[in-house]
Amino acid sequence: MSSISKSKYNSDRLILVCNDDGIFSPGIRALAEVAKEFGEVAVIAPDRQQSAVGHAITVSDPLRVTPFQINSRMEGQAVNGTPADCVKLGHGNLMKRKPDLVLSGINHGSNAGINILYSGTVSAATEGTILGYPSIAVSCTEFSDSADLSGSQEATRRAIRYVLEQGLPAGITLNVNAPAGPLKGLRWAKQANSRYVEEFEGRVDPRNKPYFWITGRLEILDKGDDLDLNLLKKGYATITPIQYDLTAHIFYRNQGKELE
């Protein structure tokens, strides 16, 4: 990796940066800082918390865009929509030209295992892939706004270098997860089979009506040191190639042409 000098990466490359925690999130600033090492950055992100909206898009309401100061050197655009809306609107309307790379994150909270499916952060990257751009999602396993994102940032650098050097096949998105703190190592990993258990806590409101609040804990269903959730437990960051083609190909191949 170090055989290519940093200056080679500093080009007129244009990088779209999105997330699902909203444009106020410390994670998106941390990601934009890394992105800046590789080119010009356009931050286009939801104007509010949009975690776990998955790949939702807005179809019945207008989308409005507001300039937003990311830090003293960077301005972004806040959108009153979902992460996938932001990427669609970014590439079609809000950027001066098409992006060369789409980055989403750094999410506060793991997007490993089954979280991939619920995640708005991963879906923003997936939308980038659908639109034909190399795309990477990055998440830190710690929810706290004050989490040390240095390891997530270093994992992001490595993933970006990989994509710039090797490219990505059509339809493939890279999903990176990292523990808080310095990077111990970045391992290729598979999505762990997992699910939430004890998902809702029932309570009664002051007007005596029951309500439910999602809680739950993530249960890992497979063992294996090649699985994202297990590697994260051991302190490693993980990089998982994922795809939006949800066809069960092996099952499909075993069927005939017609079901009679």
| Least distance (Å) between residue 12 CB and Mn ion | 31
Q: Cβ contacts of residue 172 below 8 Å, gap of 6+?
A: 129, 241, 242, 243
| Least distance (Å) between residue 22 CB and Mn ion | 8
Cβ atoms < 10 Å from Cβ of 51: 20
SS3 of residue 212 by DSSP? strand
Count of residues that bind Mn ion according to CB under 5 A? 4
Q: Among residues 18, 51, 76, 124, which is the contact residue for Mn ion, using CB under 5 A?
A: 51
Q: How is residue 94 annotated by DSSP?
A: I
x/- track of binding to Mn ion for residues 5-44 (CB under 5 A): ---------------xx-----------------------
Q: Among residues 77, 104, 107, 152, which is the contact residue for Mn ion, using CB under 5 A?
A: 107
Q: Copy the structure tokens of residue 222.
A: 């497979």
Question: Which residue type does 110 have?
Answer: S
| Least distance (Å) between residue 102 CB and Mn ion | 16
Helix 26-36 to helix 150-166 angle (10° resolution) is 40
| Least distance (Å) between residue 25 CB and Mn ion | 8
Cβ atoms < 10 Å from Cβ of 71: 10
**Which stretch, 86-94, 102-110, 206-214, 242-250, contacts Mn ion (CB under 5 A)?**
102-110
* Residue showing the smallest CB distance to Mn ion in the complex: 51
| Least distance (Å) between residue 226 CB and Mn ion | 25
| Least distance (Å) between residue 52 CB and Mn ion | 7
Element (H, E) at 46: strand 40-46
* Complex with Mn ion: residue 29 or 39, whichever CB lies closer: 29
| Least distance (Å) between residue 106 CB and Mn ion | 10
Question: Which residue type does 182 have?
Answer: P
* Complex with Mn ion: residue 44 or 164, whichever CB lies closer: 44
Element (H, E) at 120: helix 120-130
Q: Cβ contacts of residue 242 below 8 Å, gap of 6+?
A: 116, 122, 126, 172, 173, 174, 175, 191
Residue pair 107/26 in contact (Cβ under 8 Å)? The answer is no
**Which stretch, 5-13, 46-54, 196-204, 237-245, contacts Mn ion (CB under 5 A)?**
46-54
**Which stretch, 64-72, 105-113, 150-158, 233-241, contacts Mn ion (CB under 5 A)?**
105-113
Q: Give the CA distances from residue 130 to residues 126, 133, 182, 244, in Å, rounded to whole numbers and listed in that order.
A: 6, 8, 32, 8
Q: How is residue 195 annotated by DSSP?
A: E
* Complex with Mn ion: residue 39 or 111, whichever CB lies closer: 111
* Complex with Mn ion: residue 20 or 127, whichever CB lies closer: 20
Footprint of Mn ion (CB under 5 A): 20-21, 51, 107
